[in-house]
Amino acid sequence: MPQENVVLTIGFFDGVHCGHRYLIDYVRKIACEKQLKSAILTFWPHPRMVLHEKYQPKLLNTNDEKIGLIETLPIDYCIQIPFTQLLSSLSAYEFMSVLKTKLHVCQLIIGYDHRFGHNREEGFEQYCEYGKLLHINVVKAPVYEQDGRSISSSYIRSLILSSEIKKANSFLGYEYELTGRVGCGKKLGRTLGFPTANLIPDSEYKIIPAAGVYAVRVEYEGKVYQGVTCVGDCPTLGSDNRTTIETNLFDFDEVLYGREISLRFVDYIRPLQKFPTLEDLRCAMIKDAEQAKKRLER
């Protein structure tokens, strides 16, 4: 926790995307101008998980991934606190009082669409009024736009869920990633000459990209390989409505069962398709691999 006065911003920061990075850079800039320390306040678990018991979030990052991304940024303090029912019950004024007394906040930077306090009932004008009472200077950050639109975590999630992975990556500022262990799949790929690793994600909360075939990078034991990933069921064999994540690594012949790998989704190649025969499927897999290699080389 900071022991000196800080310039701080607040958010869940799912994805730590380009918009978040712009906000954090703005905080750092103001802190430098005022010769103060810069700070981020974030939370875990997701507020809706606390407020709605049955809510199952679909997120861009695990908590560890989020903190890891934030720690790569030039910020003095990354403060994470548990989001609890008690915290959710605080009014905006009560919450800002905590910021002043516990975190030594003298300047609060508010993201352009951010609201806090019980039921998010109050807005920027009220924050400014409370700031005057608490001696906190409250400032609204400029809006960050990319490709003519403001960037949000929910928008990036919608892109991933609609196969627009390349566009999502451009807003994230990095390639969307799933990490997990390799489990047993249907073993069909091996019989067709394309052995695959069946990824079982290590987080139930992370978004699984839309069904389809993708060009991917695969990280395993510190090395990065190229590959092609099929997300979804296998319509050629008959659908069992079970989503799998099967990856063929190029120029790779190790056994991966039980090992941890990370998939970085680079580009969408095509939707899933039901082929008349297994030979037709094999020919399609050859073309998918060729396409993946071309896109990964760009």
- With a cut of 80, say whether residue 188 has pLDDT above it: no
Would strands 105-110 and 137-140 be described as parallel, antiparallel, or unpaired? parallel
Three-state secondary structure of the chain: CCCCCEEEEECCCCCCCHHHHHHHHHHHHHHHHCCCEEEEEEEECCHHHHHCCCCCCCECCCHHHHHHHHHCCCCCEEEEEECCHHHHHCCHHHHHHHHHHHHCEEEEEECCCCCCCHHHCCCHHHHHHHHHHHCCEEEECCCCEECCEECCHHHHHHHHCCCCHHHHHHHHCCCEEEEEEEECCCCHHHHCCCCCEEEEECCCCECCCCCEEEEEEEEECCEEEEEEEEEECCHHHCCCCCCEEEEEECCCCCCCCCCEEEEEEEEEEECCCCCCCHHHHHHHHHHHHHHHHHHHHC
* pLDDT at residue number 239: 58
Given the structure tokens 């049955």, which residue do they identify? 54
* pLDDT at residue number 242: 83
* pLDDT at residue number 236: 65
Give 30's pLDDT tier (boundaries 50, 70, 90). Answer: very high
Query: What is the pLDDT of the chain when averaged over all its residues?
Result: 94
CA distances for 80 relative to 83, 230, 258, angstroms: 9, 36, 32
Give 218's pLDDT tier (boundaries 50, 70, 90). Answer: very high
- With a cut of 70, say whether residue 240 has pLDDT above it: no
* pLDDT at residue number 75: 96
* pLDDT at residue number 55: 84
Give 2's pLDDT tier (boundaries 50, 70, 90). Answer: confident
- What percentage of the chain exceeds 90 in pLDDT? 83
| pLDDT tens-digit readout, 44-82 | 999 889 988 888 889 999 999 999 999 999 999 999 999
* pLDDT at residue number 140: 96
Q: Report the C-alpha gap between 15 and 145 in whole angstroms.
A: 16
- With a cut of 80, say whether residue 120 has pLDDT above it: yes
What's the pTM value of the predicted model, to 2 decimals?
0.94
Instruction: For each of the domains in the chain, give its residue range(s) and CATH number, in order of start.
Output: 6-150 (3.40.50.620), 175-297 (2.40.30.30)
- With a cut of 90, say whether residue 193 has pLDDT above it: no
| pLDDT tens-digit readout, 106-119 | 999 999 889 999 88
| pLDDT tens-digit readout, 150-165 | 999 999 999 999 999 9
